[in-house]
Amino acid sequence: MLGFPFDGADCGRIAAKTLKKIGFDIVSFFIMTPLPGTEDQVRYAKEGAIIDWDFNNLDSQHVTLSHPKLDKHSWMQAYRDAFTGFYTLPKLLHTVFSVAGGRGLSAEARRSTVRQFVYYFFSYRQDRHPMVGGVWQILRRDVRRSAITDEEARRQYLGGLRFDAILRGDGGNFAAAPA
């Protein structure tokens, strides 16, 4: 995850280098995102750190928080640096040849690892997270939720004060209650 308060502009590059050195075959990178109803969301809302309240952007691929050391552009660049630094052509070739060569894995496990690495490699090259969907994404604007006002969301989804507690963290213990 990229975007902890101590992270700087080089956090993506460092994360990729460290994970490669440890020996991971496949990793996922995420931008810190305050998901609705979480303690982080409540805290960041109270601090005024949430800069984007659009639910469509709460996917861990968009910058939705202000950061003490990173502006939006440098945070996105750190995200790109992470996946382009980890999913390189030499790493792809290393994975194909080392995993395909065995390492104590069954033939199906080797094929699966190589297939997933290639999928992640090309998904990130398409500038989107591999967990979002296919290698060639069809952009359908009609599927994306339209932006609605807070009042419309209150009526449609939750009604009244409960929505405020989730969206803005104004509900005292409601959204921040310990699990």
User: Is 176 within 8 Å of 42 (Cβ atoms)?
Assistant: yes
Lookup: tokens for 142: 């009609």
Query: CA nearest 84: which of 7, 13, 1?
Result: 13
Q: Within 10 A of 115 (CB to CB), how many other CB atoms are there?
A: 10
- The dihedrals phi and psi of 43, each to the nearest 5 degrees, come to -65, -50
HEC profile for 2-40? ECCCCCCCCHHHHHHHHHHHHCCCCCCCCECCCCCCCHH
Rounded Cα–Cα distance for residues 179 and 56 (Å): 26
- Residue count (the chain): 179
At 173 the pLDDT is 45
Tokens of 108: 């199906």
Is 94 within 8 Å of 63 (Cβ atoms)? no
- Unique residue bearing structure tokens 């994306």: 144
pLDDT score, position 151: 67
Smallest CA-to-CA distance from 62 within 35, 27, 26 is with: 35
Residues of the chain falling short of pLDDT 70: 100-103, 133-151, 153-179
Residue 174: the pLDDT is 42
User: What pLDDT is stored for residue 10 in this prediction?
Assistant: 95
Helix (H, G, I), strand (E, B) or coil at 142: coil
The predicted structure's pLDDT at residue 13 = 96
